[in-house]
Copies of this chain bind each other. A is one copy, B any other.
Amino acid sequence: MAVYTEVSDEALAAFLAEYDLGALVAFRGIAEGVENSNFSLRTTAGDFILTLYEKRVDPAELPWFLGLMEHLAQRGIVCPLPVRGRDGSPLRHLCGRHAAITTFLPGVWPRRVRVEHCGPVGEALAALHLAGADYRPTRRNALGPGGWLPLLDRARARADEVQPGLARELDAALEATLGAWPAGLPEGHIHADLFPDNVFFLEGRLSGLIDFYFAATDILTYDLAVCLNAWCFEPDFAFNVTKARAMLSAYAATRALSAEERAALPVLCRGAAIRFLLTRLYDWLNTPPGAMVTRKDPLEYLRRLRFHLVARDEHAYGL
């Protein structure tokens, strides 16, 4: 749930005066997203999203994120386009936070993933990877493999509170995964968090991608591994190979996957499961009981990780 900062009407009016967006018509907090405060903003010029950046986002990185979104939007990726103010900047301050206005995207994110969603997601991810190729600035993936051991170190002592033996299981999985981590695979800008609530559909077609605030420069196929984790497990944690095949083949039809990339899928999927398991575990152990945030169960990713650990090769993913 995501309105951490209340915006006074006076502050909003002064903020809007820095844009050519006409007069305010409506302003409502949005209940989705967990990192930032998001508001649906309507002016006489149309519909927009106002984002106030909270805690986890480093202000120094905001120009990189907004620049990537603008770059992708200009190349036909349907993603929020940052709106520049009268001074030409898409980034300013509101209520002591960094703030930006982006365009509103129509569509609805799928609450229940069907196989028909997975092809379009694979295709959109590949298109995003291609469109990002000529965005020059890079951003290190702080939640990539180099970040996992430090994350585990901060959670290890209390990990067994969540499930007995978890710390030991994670240590073993992390060691095996980092030891097998592939080198030399194609890199580029990845979304890194393309979960169902970040993908909109309209009348059965993908209508937009949102929330680029985990984007980074990393192995492209790792992004696909994140999506396989996020889209292709059933609520009972059974892996749905039909969904995976739809996603992978649609991806490969837009951006070909090399033999090396295909072979790396199991270890990349392990890594992606570890990444979400670790951040959820850390949040689980560090979320104060009264906080207005849904704590997501880290063990959902242990279930996924165990599937990937026994996946013999890429054929386990329908390739």
Contacts and interface: CB of A to CB of B under 8 A. Distances in A.
Interface of A: 1-3, 6-10, 12, 23-32, 40, 42, 104-108, 110-112, 200-203, 289-290, 292-295
| A interface: dominant SS | loop
A201 B10 CA distance: 12
Taken together, the copies of this chain in the complex come to 2
A111 B8 contact: yes
B29 A32 contact: yes
A29 B31 contact: yes
Nearest to A39: B31
Contacts of A108: 9, 12, 24, 26-27
By Cβ-Cβ distance, the 10 closest A-B pairs, closest first, are: A29-B31, A289-B289, A8-B111, A31-B31, A1-B1, A3-B31, A27-B108, A8-B112, A26-B106, A25-B106
B111 A7 contact: yes
A201 B26 CA distance: 9
20 contacts: A1-B1, A1-B3, A3-B32, A6-B111, A7-B111, A8-B112, A9-B110, A9-B112, A9-B201, A10-B112, A26-B106, A26-B107, A27-B108, A28-B30, A29-B32, A30-B30, A31-B31, A290-B290, A290-B295, A292-B292
